[in-house]
């Protein structure tokens, strides 16, 4: 392996284990490695230029809009109405509360585009409710965390926008549509585990709501669900771009939360705007630092070296794609999704395409793979949020997470080896050939 790659990896993981913020880890590791090739001052200037260039993208403007719309939705009463809608639809099935938890996370994740927001908003209500009906706090936390990751696949999804940029211009609209079937498959697989778990542990079944009450709950949630049709329908129809869709999502969320539901007053908006700015700044710093690292990798021809290694390793696509998945699972357990996508997409995408995988399918595979990392120790941010909401510890949640990990991995294998799961809908809407 090239000495630059060794220095980069060693310095990065040393900083990471010293609990240095991920963006600083990436930036400093890149600087240390680049100094091996050029002097300190031009190295700093080069990294600064690459960071600025990395965030100089019109498509990235969508991210602050979707972050803000997600914050507004989380505080605007939308989560509560989605939970009530899910309860009306499937609450009386075996493991009903767990199923409601999964469906609510899917719906909220699809609207907000944030796994952490879904975990916090849905978990703060559903985990105590599940505990009240005899479910363990650990199982409730495990279900919430794993289900919240579906929001990374079901659009609008910030990470799919980032992948579109990292891959060199894959259609955001095609990626958004491609995420639906895999995201729904993950949700259904988690629901199956929840039902079997509830039957095995003899958890009580929630009484069916009267038809009139159920219809009222569903109707009350329709304005929230309509946002998905506005955003995705507008993008697919070519009415507006993903960035413009983000702005429309903010306006719609404001009208719904402030004007219709009246869950947010105007005095709370400055705090929400400030929180959105803070989150956006963190994301953009990570993107900038990751862009600089990606440039260094390209400058030292490391992606080409790794691609050639994989191509000589085996001619069997089943083995090579499995190895890529296993590497990404390990990566996802230590590194946040954004830098992982920006750094490893240029490395593994050429290999995957060499074995016949399209950029669309590969993008969904990568996002689903790294979503498992969001609920995997030691770094899994969603797992820690869920533990905090459930007031439980990490080591207690791992046991109920195991069957959920297994079904998520099973869906990952389907997405990896069955292109139709990712490509059928984009092809149906004419977004890919």
Residue 211 lies in a domain: yes
Q: Are residues 423 and 280 in the same domain?
A: yes
Q: Are residues 30 and 120 in the same domain?
A: no
Give the separation between CA 185 and CA 142, rounded to whole angstroms. 18
Q: Say which residue the tokens 């559903």 belong to.
A: 126
User: What's the token pair of residue 340?
Assistant: 């992982």
Residue 407 lies in a domain: yes
Give the separation between CA 255 and CA 120, rounded to whole angstroms. 22
Q: Are residues 129 and 36 in the same domain?
A: no
Query: What is the pLDDT, as a whole number, of residue 73?
Result: 80
Q: Are residues 316 and 368 in the same domain?
A: yes
Digitized pLDDT (tens) for each residue of the chain, 433 residues in all = 568 778 888 898 898 888 888 889 999 999 999 998 889 999 999 999 999 998 888 888 888 888 888 888 878 878 788 888 888 888 778 888 889 889 888 888 767 667 777 888 788 888 888 888 888 889 999 999 999 999 899 888 889 999 999 998 889 989 999 999 999 999 999 999 999 988 888 877 777 888 888 898 889 888 888 887 888 888 888 888 888 888 898 898 899 888 888 888 888 889 999 988 998 898 899 889 998 988 888 888 877 788 788 878 888 889 999 999 999 998 888 888 889 999 899 889 999 998 889 999 999 999 999 999 889 887 778 888 888 888 888 888 888 999 999 999 999 999 999 999 999 999 998 888 7
Q: Are residues 237 and 375 in the same domain?
A: yes
Q: Are residues 362 and 261 in the same domain?
A: yes
Give the separation between CA 335 and CA 356, rounded to whole angstroms. 27
Residue 155 lies in a domain: yes
Q: Which domain holds residue 165?
A: 55-428
Spatial contact of 117 and 74, defined as CB atoms under 8 Å apart: yes
Q: How far is CA 78 from the centre of its chain?
A: 20
Give the separation between CA 397 and CA 377, rounded to whole angstroms. 11
Spatial contact of 365 and 343, defined as CB atoms under 8 Å apart: no
Residue 368 lies in a domain: yes
Residue 433 lies in a domain: no
Q: Are residues 165 and 20 in the same domain?
A: no
Query: What is the pLDDT, as a whole number, of residue 141?
Result: 92
Spatial contact of 143 and 101, defined as CB atoms under 8 Å apart: yes
Spatial contact of 158 and 66, defined as CB atoms under 8 Å apart: yes
Domain count, the chain: 2
Q: Say which residue the tokens 């903010």 belong to.
A: 250
Give one word for 277, left, alpha or beta, with left for phi > 0 and alpha for psi -120 to 50.
alpha
Pick from 54, 70, 97: which residue ends a domain?
54
Pick from 37, 54, 71: which residue ends a domain?
54
Query: What is the pLDDT, as a whole number, of residue 384?
Result: 85
Q: Are residues 277 and 205 in the same domain?
A: yes
Q: Are residues 410 and 304 in the same domain?
A: yes
Query: What is the pLDDT, as a whole number, of residue 117?
Result: 76
Q: Are residues 339 and 370 in the same domain?
A: yes
Q: Are residues 400 and 266 in the same domain?
A: yes
Query: What is the pLDDT, as a whole number, of residue 348?
Result: 93
Q: Are residues 40 and 98 in the same domain?
A: no
Q: What is the three-class DSSP state of 377?
A: coil
Residue 170 lies in a domain: yes
Tell me the angle at which helices 96-112 and 62-75 cross, rounded to the nearest 10 degrees: 140
DSSP code of residue 207: P
**Which residue, among 170, 166, 173, 175, has the nearest Cα to 339 in the 3D structure?**
166
Query: What is the pLDDT, as a whole number, of residue 190?
Result: 95
Residue 357 lies in a domain: yes
Residue 361 lies in a domain: yes
């Amino acid at each position: 392996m090239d000495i630059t790659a060794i220095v980069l990896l060693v310095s990065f993981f040393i900083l990471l284990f010293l609990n240095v913020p991920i963006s600083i880890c990436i930036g400093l590791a890149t600087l240390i490695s680049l100094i091996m090739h050029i002097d300190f001052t031009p190295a700093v200037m080069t990294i600064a230029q690459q960071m600025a260039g990395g965030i100089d993208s019109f498509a990235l403007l969508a991210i602050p809009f979707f972050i803000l719309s997600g914050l507004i939705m989380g505080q605007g009463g939308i989560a509560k109405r989605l939970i009530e809608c899910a309860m009306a639809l499937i609450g009386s099935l075996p493991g009903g509360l767990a199923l409601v938890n999964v469906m609510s996370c899917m719906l909220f994740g699809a609207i907000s585009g944030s796994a952490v927001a879904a975990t916090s908003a849905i978990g703060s209500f559903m985990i105590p409710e599940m505990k009240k009906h005899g479910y363990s706090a650990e199982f409730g936390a495990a279900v919430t965390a794993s289900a919240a990751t579906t929001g990374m696949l079901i659009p609008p999804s910030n990470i799919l926008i980032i992948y579109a940029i990292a891959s060199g211009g894959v259609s955001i609209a095609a990626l958004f549509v491609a995420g639906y079937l895999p995201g729904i498959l993950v949700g259904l697989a988690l629901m199956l585990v929840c039902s079997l778990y509830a039957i095995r542990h003899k958890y009580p079944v929630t009484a069916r709501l009267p038809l009139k009450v159920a219809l009222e709950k569903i109707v009350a949630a329709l304005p929230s669900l309509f946002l998905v049709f506005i955003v995705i329908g507008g993008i697919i129809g070519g009415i507006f771009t993903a960035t413009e869709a983000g702005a429309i999502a903010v306006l719609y969320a404001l009208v719904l939360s402030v004007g219709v539901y009246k869950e947010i007053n105007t005095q709370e908006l400055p705090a929400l705007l400030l929180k959105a700015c803070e989150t956006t700044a963190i994301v953009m710093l990570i993107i900038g630092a990751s862009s600089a690292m990606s440039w260094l990798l390209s400058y030292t021809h490391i992606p080409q070296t790794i691609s050639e290694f994989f191509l000589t390793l085996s001619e069997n696509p089943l083995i090579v794609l499995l190895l890529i998945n296993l590497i990404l699972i390990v990566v996802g357990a230590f590194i946040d999704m954004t830098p992982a996508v920006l750094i490893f997409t240029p490395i593994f995408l050429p290999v995957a395409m060499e074995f016949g995988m399209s950029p669309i399918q590969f993008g969904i595979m990568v996002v689903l793979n790294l979503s498992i990392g969001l609920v995997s120790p030691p770094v899994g941010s969603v797992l820690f949020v869920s533990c905090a909401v459930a007031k439980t510890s990490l080591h207690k949640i791992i046991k109920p997470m195991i069957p959920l990990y297994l079904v998520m991995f099973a869906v990952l294998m389907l997405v990896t080896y069955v292109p139709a799961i990712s490509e059928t809908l984009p092809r149906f809407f004419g977004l890919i050939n």
